[in-house]
Chain A
Amino acid sequence: MTDAKGHNTSEGYLRYSRKKRLFLGALAASLFLLSLITIKLGSTDLSFSEIIRYIFDPDDSWNSKVVWDLRLKMVVAAILAGSALGIAGCVMQSILRNPLASPLTLGLSNAAAFGASLGILFLQGGLIVGSTAAYVTISNPLMVTVLAFAFAMTATGIMILLVKVTECTPETIVLAGLAISSIFSAGLAFLQYIADDVALSAIVFWQFGSLSKVSWDNLYIVAAVLFAAAVYFFYKRWDYNAMEAGDDIASGLGVNMKATRYVGLTMATALTAVVVSFMGIIGFIGLIGPHIVKKVIGNDNRYVLIGSMLVGSLVLLVAYVIGTYAFYTVIPVGIITSAIGGPLFIFILLRGRRRR
């Protein structure tokens, strides 16, 4: 197709699309390299060839255990949690047409944390291991996840109701999210107040958002939920683009608005719930991931969904490396991501205000 001036519009568009795919490819390559480097970091010195050998051919040696049970597990946890939170934030932003939407800003993370804490502390869903530097291991992952999901869905339900009955601005939704967060924070504080000292320190550490105590079994659950949700989201990528263009346009293009909105939010909530259950509250990944990608390649969900997963993983991996190696003691990733994400959140708020 060539216009009057001889420009080939189709070819121009195909080149433009190739650039977006190239960007995603570069992100994937960066993630692969950073993963390898992260596995190499640590007191046990291993070469890249040894790392690759132990990954594909593990044995009973100490080095093999270091690679599989310490380093690779952390990297896989960062990639899975980063992908899950990144894509959940991306879908929430499209469905609610709200650039400020994310699991944390809508109060879902705190709601899930409350549900999970309830299960861990009082319904024998978790074990408090140790006496001084105590930590939580999840002994009944299904129950903890279901509770986290149930409370996160309560927060999502309140949000859907608010969007439905009021003409909420993006900022109002986030304020409502703050209110929801506060309610569940109060619940969490109450649980902590009545817990004993050891359980308290363990549960507080878990809530910070940490990759360190997650097990491979937990990661299989996160991977399964992420796989199902990502396939569904990717199948619906055209619908999310249409929804960003407005309800009437989306309906006119044959999108079943109710089903797409509710199933999408439920899936995003489930992703948040599994991550929070096993790794605590890791804030702002759902906000940072999509925003960085959108800044570079625009809002096309055909690319942004995958990009949000990749950037979410990269940011979480960087936060893990900083938290583990940059200070005299190991800092949980949740603290690092909040330190990076807070200022970015303010930046997005200010930019949104300038545009209006």
Chain B
Amino acid sequence: MMNVKDLSFSYGTTKILDKVSFDADDNQIISILGPNGAGKTTLLKCICNIHDPEEGSVMIDGVNILDLKGREQAKNIAFVPQSAPVSRLSVFDSILMGRKPHIEWSATRSDIDKVSSVIDALGMSHLSLRYMDQISGGEFQKAQIARAIVQEPRVLVLDEPTNNLDISNQHTTMHMIEHAVRSRGVCTIMTMHDINLAVHYSDRFLFLKGGRAAAYGGVEVITEGLIRKVYGMHAEIVHHKGIPFVVPRDSSKYEHLADHEHPHDIHDHIHG
């Protein structure tokens, strides 16, 4: 059980986050959504204590992890940034780095086996001894998430995990995250730009606007009114197989489809 309460953060005199609160259960995926500059990444970095929040708390099972030392924090919470420099470490060594908070002096056989099992589960064993600068963008992102999984945190925090990935890799990555969450019972908090992708994989949604929480809840909070309020645009919520999709209403590119085609065809046009 995680509880984020009244998190606030400023850069100089500019308020970036203003008393953001939400809670999440184990085994849940929370998507943080909002326009550019809404404070999504800052919120994640405050939760992970990479940024030092001005006020507020991040409670995991009753303990405020902002009060813990770096190593203890890292045992509770793992962070995958939106982008990272490519280092000349093997994929295996890069993932093994996730065991760092648990390693006293050197990696044990148990640490190595934990990394191996995650690599095998992700079908990456053929890449494990390649350098990180010799693999594709999708594989790189998988390795980053694998590193966070072997960290064995209570909460997994991901900043735009599908950034710069093609649609196939977006879904592969999201499946991988979903599997890790459900099989290990960890809570996942991630920022997303693509609402429709977020809807596919998330249990709850936190919409931010101007550093404040505009809405938080299940899929029912995603309404045309909320999209207009948060993004300042008109959109239609259409349903396909019970799943809502946000379709921009004033997209002239698709006007010719609007009168005679079923909404799921519109979806196919957009996502196909």
Contact = CB atoms under 8 A, between A and B. Distances in A.
A1 B113 contact: yes
Interface string A10-30: 101110100000000000000
Contacts of B77: 252
A249 B81 contact: yes
B272 interface: no
Interface in B27-80: 45, 48-50, 69-75, 77-80
Given A244-B89, A299-B87, A253 B117 contact: no
A253 B101 contact: yes
B81 A241 contact: no
B88 A252 contact: no
A292 to B, nearest CB: 14
User: Most chain-A CB neighbours within 10 Å: which of B78, B125, B157?
Assistant: B125
Given A246-B81, A246-B85, A253 B151 contact: yes
Interface string A229-256: 0000000001001101110110111111
Interface stretch (B91-99, B174-182, B210-218): B91-99
Interface in B112-147: 112-113, 115-117, 119-120, 123, 125-126, 128-129, 131, 144, 147
Nearest to A259: B70
B123 A12 contact: no
A1 B150 CA distance: 14
Interface string A251-279: 11111100000000000000000000000
B85 A3 contact: no
A13 B120 contact: no
B92 A254 contact: no
A298 B85 contact: no
Contacts of A4: 120, 123
B90 interface: yes
B116 A16 contact: no
A13 B92 contact: yes
A355 B50 CA distance: 30
A9 B129 CA distance: 9
Contacts of B123: 3-4
B128 A251 contact: no
B258 interface: no
A341 B131 CA distance: 26
- The winner among A252, A255, A302 for most chain B CB atoms within 10 A is A252
B234 interface: no
Contact of B71 (A7, A254, A298, A300): A254
B103 interface: yes
B85 A244 contact: yes
Given A246-B84, A248-B45, A13 B129 contact: yes
B5 interface: no
Contacts of A253: 74, 97-98, 100-101, 151
A248 B158 CA distance: 12
A292 B170 CA distance: 38
A90 B84 CA distance: 21
Given A252-B50, A253-B101, A16 B90 contact: yes
B94 A245 contact: yes
Interface in B171-230: none
Q: Which of A7, A13, A255 has the most CB of B within 10 A?
A: A13
B128 A241 contact: no
B187 to A, nearest CB: 16
Contact of A245 (B48, B97, B109): B97
Interface in A286-307: 294, 298-300, 302
A40 interface: no
Interface string A297-332: 011101000000000000000000000000000000
A47 interface: no
Nearest to B101: A254
B125 A7 contact: yes
Q: What are the nearest 8 A-B pairs in CB distance? A: A1-B116, A252-B79, A254-B74, A254-B70, A9-B116, A3-B125, A3-B120, A248-B81
Interface of B: 45, 48-50, 69-75, 77-81, 84-85, 87-90, 92-94, 97-98, 100-101, 103, 106, 109, 112-113, 115-117, 119-120, 123, 125-126, 128-129, 131, 144, 147-148, 151, 157
12 contacts: A1-B120, A3-B123, A9-B128, A13-B92, A238-B100, A241-B87, A245-B84, A249-B97, A251-B48, A253-B74, A253-B98, A299-B89
